[in-house]
Amino acid sequence: MADHTPTRAERREATARRILEAAQHEFGAHGDGATIRSIARRAGVDPSLVLQHYGSKQALFSLAVRPVSDLEGEDVPAHLAEVLDVRLRELPASTKALMRSMLTSAEAAEAMSVYLRERAARLAEAMPDDHAELRAALVVSSIMGITIARHFLDLPALEDADGDDVAALVDSWTSTAP
Amino acid sequence: MADHTPTRAERREATARRILEAAQHEFGAHGDGATIRSIARRAGVDPSLVLQHYGSKQALFSLAVRPVSDLEGEDVPAHLAEVLDVRLRELPASTKALMRSMLTSAEAAEAMSVYLRERAARLAEAMPDDHAELRAALVVSSIMGITIARHFLDLPALEDADGDDVAALVDSWTSTAP
DNA sequence: GCATTCACTCTACACGTGTTGAGCGAGGTG
DNA sequence: CACCTCGCTCAACACGTGTAGAGTGAATGC
């Protein structure tokens, strides 16, 4: 809240943040093929500065793609939908970067995979026993698919769908019998 | 069946096919970032020849990514799973190329989108009326998500799952009430 | 058997990339 | 005010890319 004139270190840190955000948006828009130059342009900065801050494109990518939430003890099943953002209009920048890159970057794929496994494990605990593990994996994967369809493929049927409807529907799958 | 010695034109056509297959595998493995040189290497051919056959990388990509099946009048709901290959161990090369690129190539994204819309429309016809369109879109997107999780993210729970189990489960969602 | 075609390879070019090191000039310090 | 610090820009590099055009030698047709 104190709006003192920023010190040099603060300004530096601020541009570092601006660069990271620019990177998330660029990776989110073009995947891991996004360019250091394009990131720099978006941040209003020289390309070289990007590397002085983050060392290499790879390192910056890793940071940009790190998932935002390690939310610990939340109630599981209904919340799930929100996590992978079935109902959010806009995805968090880092999530978007991660998803956009997950099919072309091994690192992003691995990150998404552990994220999904983690979520599925959580979900399985709260499910009827029968094939719980498999069914949890299916639900989690489905939510990912729906998220892709909505945010990256612009499927019209999902475009103007009510997030709550979607969440309720998906939630009902949680207790479906095989 | 007649194994006459191949004419010049036949041999040319054969190498064209080899190049296209190589392209599908390379695009399937690395997305639209795959290299003309890598495609040529895989086909055992000079990079320049790839362009003499297909004009440009873009044109080759378009061809490599074209979906295989315009199967017309098939029975819809159960078959759906197979189409997006929830139960197949290995994806068709063109499908793999299409999916791998759909998040980084606008053309692939559009192709996948129309494919999904088409499938959803088919599926909606065979569903209980309530919210049929939305629910069909959700099911189709889910199958895509499951396919991604299994074939690109290597989710272990799906890795060794029985394809029929998965198909049956997904199929049951088709008649889920909202 | 000879001239021609033509499927294919070789060489080259222009360009965009990630990355580096030198240099500049405003901000901090005495 | 003078000096130094250091966040930042500039200029350059080596490299991989898509693509074009000339060249080559074996299959073809007379």
**CATH number of domain containing A32:** 1.10.10.60
The residue segments making up the domain with residue A33 are: 8-64
The reply to whether residue A155 touches residue B117, judged by beta carbons under 8 angstroms, is yes
Tokens of A85: 């953002």
Is the distance from CB of B137 to CB of B120 less than 8 angstroms? yes
Summarize pLDDT for A19-61 with one digit per residue, the tens: 999 999 999 999 999 999 999 999 999 999 999 999 999 999 9
Summarize pLDDT for B8-41 with one digit per residue, the tens: 888 999 999 999 999 999 999 999 999 999 999 9
Three-class HEC string of A151-164: HCCCCHHHHCCCHH
User: Last residue of some domain: B65, B88, B113?
Assistant: B65
Tokens of B81: 């799973």
| Residue B49 shares a structural domain with residue B91 | no
| Residue B105 shares a structural domain with residue B163 | yes
Task: Give A166: exposed, middle or buried? Use CB within 10 Å, 0-12, 13-18, 19+.
Answer: buried
Spatial separation of the C-alpha atoms in residues B134 and B137, rounded to whole Å: 5
Residue A8 Cα, gap to closest chain B Cα (Å): 38
Is the distance from CB of B178 to CB of A164 less than 8 angstroms? no
Residues of B in contact with A176 (CB under 8 A): 169, 172-173, 176
pLDDT grade for A103, boundaries at 50, 70 and 90: very high
Spatial separation of the C-alpha atoms in residues B145 and B140, rounded to whole Å: 9
Is the distance from CB of A134 to CB of B134 less than 8 angstroms? no
A137 touches chain B (CB under 8 A): yes
The reply to whether residue B149 touches residue A168, judged by beta carbons under 8 angstroms, is no
Of A109, A112, A149, the CB nearest to B141: A149
| Residue B103 shares a structural domain with residue B169 | yes
| Residue B101 shares a structural domain with residue B131 | yes
A135 touches chain B (CB under 8 A): yes
| Residue A51 shares a structural domain with residue A102 | no
Residue of A nearest to B107 (CA): A153
Instruction: Check pLDDT > 80 for residue A157.
Output: yes
Instruction: Check pLDDT > 60 for residue B167.
Output: yes
Residues of B in contact with A164 (CB under 8 A): none
- What is the residue whose two structure tokens read 């999916």? B99
Spatial separation of the C-alpha atoms in residues A99 and B146, rounded to whole Å: 15
In the structure, how many helices (H) and strands (E) does chain A have?
A: 10, 0
| Residue A112 shares a structural domain with residue A167 | yes
Per-residue pLDDT, averaged over A62-66, amounts to 95
| Residue B21 shares a structural domain with residue B88 | no
pLDDT for A2: 47
| Residue A59 shares a structural domain with residue A97 | no
Q: Please tell me the least confidently modeled range out of A8-17, B28-37, B160-169.
A: B160-169
Residue of B nearest to A109 (CA): B153
Candidates A85, A113, A119, A138: best to mutate against B (most CBs of B within 10 A) is A138
pLDDT for A57: 98
Distance from CA(B102) to C1'(C10), angstroms, rounded? 35
Question: Which nucleotide across the nucleic acid strands is nearest to A46, CA versus C1'?
Answer: D9
Is the distance from CB of A139 to CB of A148 less than 8 angstroms? no
Asked, for residue B107, whether it belongs to a domain, the answer is: yes
The reply to whether residue A137 touches residue B154, judged by beta carbons under 8 angstroms, is no
Decide which of B176 and A39 is more confident.
Answer: A39
User: Last residue of some domain: B32, B65, B98?
Assistant: B65
Q: How far is CA A67 from the centre of its chain?
A: 6
B81 touches chain A (CB under 8 A): no
pLDDT grade for A16, boundaries at 50, 70 and 90: very high
Tokens of A8: 């040099």
In sequence order, what are the residues at sequence separation of 6 or more whose Cβ sits closer than 8 angstroms to the Cβ of residue A43? A15, A18, A19, A21, A22, A23, A50
pLDDT for A1: 47
The total number of structural domains that make up chain B: 2
Asked, for residue A1, whether it belongs to a domain, the answer is: no
**Closest among B166, B175, B87 to A135, alpha carbons compared:** B166
Residue of B nearest to A114 (CA): B155
